[in-house]
Structures are given as C-alpha cells and as structure tokens.
Chains A and B, each alone.
Chain A
Amino acid sequence: MAKGEIVLGCLAPHPPHVVYAENPEQNEAFAEGGWETLRWGYRRLARKLKSIDYDAMVIFTPHWQTYIGTHFLGLPRFQSKSVDPIFPNLFRYNYDITVDVELAEAMHDAACEAGIITKMMQNQDFRVDYGTITSCHMLNPDWDKPLVTISSNRNTHYYSAEVMNEQAGALGEACAKAIEDSGKRVVLISSHSLSHRHFVTESPLPEDMSREHIYNHSQYVWDMKLVDLMREGKMREVIGIMPEFTEQTMAETEGGGLTWMMAAMGHPDYPAEIYGYQSVIGTGNLIAAWDPDSASREIVL
C-alpha cells in the first residue's frame, strides 16, 4: 500500500454568514448576498479542490468544544438540522454527512498512542457542529467526500495558549502518522477565524455590507502580520507567536486548529495561497491554503 499523504491544508473560516449569503437549498434562511470577498475566495478554492484527487476531508472545529480530551465523530452517517445557537436567524441547515470512520478510528488510536486523551463519539443523535458544516459546505458544496471531524479541546481556557500550542501540535503529528499509515489522500481543514472579537449588535439586515468592518485596528494589524508571514512561508514563526496572537486578538486559533494543521503538514516553509480576507460581524476571516505540490501551488492573491 502506498503511503497516505496530506494533499492540501485549508484555513477555512466558518461564520455562518457565508453559507447564509450563498442561499443553498439546505439552508432555510434567505439572504440578498453579502461577504463576497470571502465567498468568491471560497469558490476559487473549491474549484482547486475539484482538481485534486483525494479520499477524505479531516476538519478540526472549535465549535465542538470538549473539555475531556479530543473527540472524533465515529459513526458512518449523520443526518439532521444544524441551527446556529448564536445566529439562528441566518443558519438553519439540513445536513447529510458521511464520515470516514476507519480514518477517524486510526487518528483516534494514533493520538491515544501519543498519550493524548481521546474519545470516539458514537451517539447517533449527536448534532454535528455548524463550524464543520459551514467550512465543508463552502469548500465542497457537493458533499461528495467523507469527513473526519475532530473536536477542539479547551486547553487555552483550562491552561494557556502555550499548552494549547503544544497539545494541538502533538495531535497534528499523530494525525499525520495515521494518514500516512492509512494510504489515503487527505485534505486537512482548520475551521476558524483569525481575530475573533465580535460586535454584540447586529444590523437589521445582517448582509448590509455598509455596516461590516473589523472590530478594531489592532485586530486588523495582527491579522495582517499573520497573513504576511504566511505569504513568506514562515509557518513555524506563525505557530511560535500563536500564543501571543491568540491572547491579543481573542483569536479563534485558541481552539488549536491552525497549530494542529501546521504540525500535521510539517510546518510548511513555502508560501500559502491567499484566497481572501474579510471581516464578519467584526471578526477577521482569512481563507488560505497550503499546497505541498510545488507544481500546482500558485499565487492567488
């Protein structure tokens, strides 16, 4: 069996606003549009994914928050409705998700061997989180690939962003080993915003783009610092400053997604593909990808 490999890593933010603005048939709410910079960036990245041969998507989501270790979806299919608890006016999405249970179990076992507290989630009534659904819908609206969803352990809150960085890195290395042993070609998804301070009010028309801007300039400057480092292929440096970035901008990197993905990919030293940056209700959202194949890697923006 050939060695498995990670064929692409995607930073894929999950504000439900982008699904809402797309008006897919699965979502009950209707929008007049909005957040085009992100949506058009997502479309371009989705086209790239269509050109890549892969077996499964593995997504690390901060909206399945677990305090007792890291959990993996462990049943082959989940069908239900996801209603965003924060933005129920925007996101009421009927989903039908296929899970690569074999790969999930392999990752679970590899993480367990590495000393990480783990649990398979095998309750059929479990509702898949809206972070998973939003990122995966935007990257693959056809939903024709199985997923592995990994929960976000709350290390940043329980201990510190430094501990999060260490643990998420160890999890990434364990998942990379499981992928290699599986023989599968896998796309990794780190589902989160960068800076993550929200406005606490919403305009009467949520998609009114005249109201949309970053929460404050400090958040923007920090976000751009990370984007610059990503363009330069300095991902080890990004992960090095991750605790400070997370603390300074209340970043959603607190969940460990980017740290996990970069560790699994061996901290790329090649430029990231940048697909778009835009604020959503004050938060900073970047779509980016890391393509290990220099032949298909491109400068997007």
Chain B
Amino acid sequence: MSEEAEILFGVYCPPHPQPLLSPEANEGYSNLRDAYETCRQRIEDSDADIILVYSTTWPSIVGHQIQAHPEPTWVHVDDDFHYLGSMPYTFRMDVDYANGYQEACEKRGLHARTVAYDGFPIDTGSVVALQLLNPDNRLPSCIVSSNMYSNRAETIVLGKAARDALAAQGKKAVVVVVSSLSNRMFTEHIDPADDRIHSAKDDEWNRKILEFFADGRLEDLSQLSREIHGQIRVQKVVAYKPAWWMAAAMGQHNNYTGEVLAYEALHGSGGAVIALTPAEGSVGDKEFDEDDVEFYHGDRDVLTKGML
C-alpha cells in the first residue's frame, strides 16, 4: 500500500445537462462536449482504479454523504431543464472505497455516512459527468456530497479524508469536481443560440479563474475561494467550496499542468472543462497564513459562550 494517495489528474467540469442532452443546440455546448470527450479518452488511457466525484449539485445537511450503492440505476430528469429530455443511467460504484472514505471522514472528525438505496436521486451534475466521462462504466466511481452548511475547514478535511482512503486502499484516482464557475443563469427561457455569460463581470472573473487553472495554481484558487464566492456566485450555500475540496484531495500546491479545454456559457452561467495534472515546478509567489486544517472539531459553541 502507498502512504501517499496517487491522483493521476483532476477534471473540473460544469453540472448543466446541455452538453449531454443538447450539444448540437449551441456551438459552445458542443465545445464542452468535445472537451468532456478529451477527458474521457484520457481517463480510458490512464491506469486509474477509480473516478472520485465531488458534486456541488448534491447538497447534504446531515454531514457528508457518500454514494455506496454498487449499481445505482434510475432515469433522472433535471428540475429546470426537464424539456431537454431524460437521463437514464446505471453506474458502477466502488463500495469498498465508499466505505473507506466514510471511515476516513470519521477519523478526521467529520460526520459522514454512506447511502445505498434503490432509487436514490443522484444529482444532475454527477449524472452528466459520469455519463460523459465514463459512459461504459469501465472504471468504478464514488460520489461525495457537498454539505450546504460546511465551510472551509470542514471542506478541506473532507478532501483530505478522500486522500486518506485512496492511500489506505492503494488506489489510483482521477478526481472530478462538478461545479460551474460563475453560476448565475438567465432567469428567463432563452434560445440556446443566444446563450452567453450572464454579465461582463462574471465573464471577467471566470477568465481570471481560468488563468489560475491554466497556470496550475490550484492552491491559489483554493485561497481565493471566499473572494470568488462573493464576486460571482449566487448565494445559495455558505461558500464556494469546490477549489477547497479539489486542492485538499489532489494536493495543496500549485504544481500542476493546467489545461482549459473549453469555456462556454450554459444558460448564462460559466461552464469550463479543465484538466489538472500533477507536475514538477511551481507557479506563483504566495504563501498563506490561514491554518491548514487536519481535523474537524465541529461547531465552536459560540452561541452558548459568553452569556450573562
């Protein structure tokens, strides 16, 4: 068994169903589909043992949920884009890894549980990513939820627990993070041919984030998460967490070869397919003083302290 987790590469991709269901409706959707295909081929060519997915469209409340049904099967329909069609799926999950991940979470102080129920609603983002990246289920996968209340410390520990479990089982992984960049969609129905990023501000921020990704500066993006959340994220949850989890799971540094394979609008939101491959040599000149959390201690009971 390896003492260090082996992450072959990471993929950052959007959750929207258009690249899966209607790639022909807009050249941008088609470009995203092609980028997924590039990643699919790389995964197939790799000797990965597992695809590990963190999806921002699978919210949890009771701690962190990890999909552990060996073969989840359903026909999924998106809440907004139901008119684009249904998404039938059967996936192959790595149950041993799911159990190992849950145990690793508990060891680091997180509340986590596996879910293995027939008909459990796997989210749109995970369905799209796994359908496009692993259509034949050649590799088993694992999906972990994004707790709606968790913030930086908890999310970083969640990412580290994923590494722990990979190292303990000696598995080589491709890490997939499903998330938009800017996530503000148009609030009216549009002709897909007219799709564009919702605002110039969102577009500028997206492009700045993509510069960081292209330079392989994953840890720098992790450090910028709060700023990104304030600038271009609709405030649905407490924080923009994908970069925290991705950096913690892949390795908290800037030593990656980054490739922006596509960046397009998805009903106004920013959708990018990005590949990050561990490399030698670092980019950037920053160090950070925020604590690198190893163990999650839970609530600090602020509400019950200091009362008269």
Contact = CB atoms under 8 A, between A and B. Distances in A.
A177 interface: no
5 contacts: A68-B80, A71-B79, A80-B119, A200-B61, A202-B63
Contacts of B85: 123
Interface stretch (B3-11, B183-191, B219-227): B183-191
Contacts of A200: 61-63, 111, 147, 149-150
Contact of B86 (A81, A123, A151): A123
A30 interface: no
B83 interface: yes
A90 B86 CA distance: 27
A250 B69 CA distance: 33
Contact of A68 (B59, B149, B188): B188
A68 B77 contact: no
A119 B234 contact: no
Contacts of B123: 85
A65 B234 CA distance: 14
A201 B303 contact: no
Contacts of B118: 81, 83, 92
Contacts of A35: none
Using C-beta atoms within 8 Å of the partner chain, give the interface range for chain B.
35 or more
B270 to A, nearest CB: 15
Contacts of A240: none
Contacts of A117: 187-189
Contact of B117 (A65, A92, A122, A151): A92
Given A85-B58, A87-B62, A158-B234, A65 B184 contact: no
A86 B80 contact: no
- The 6 A-B residue pairs with the shortest CB-CB distance, nearest first, are A125-B86, A123-B82, A81-B119, A126-B77, A125-B75, A83-B119
A64 B189 contact: no
Contacts of A69: 187-189
B286 interface: no
Interface string B234-257: 111000000000000000000000
A141 interface: no
Given A88-B115, A92-B119, A201-B111, A67 B187 contact: yes
Interface of A: 64-69, 71, 80-81, 83, 85-89, 92, 117, 119, 121-123, 125-127, 151, 153-154, 157-158, 198-202, 216, 281
B14 to A, nearest CB: 14
Nearest to A66: B80
A86 B79 contact: no
A123 B62 contact: no
B60 A86 contact: yes
Nearest to B111: A201
A64 B79 contact: yes
Contacts of A201: 62-63, 111
Contacts of B303: 216
Contacts of B185: 67-68
Nearest to B116: A88
Contacts of B86: 123, 125
B82 to A, nearest CB: 4
Nearest to B299: A200
A89 to B, nearest CB: 8
B149 A65 contact: no
Interface in B42-83: 58-63, 75-77, 79-80, 82-83
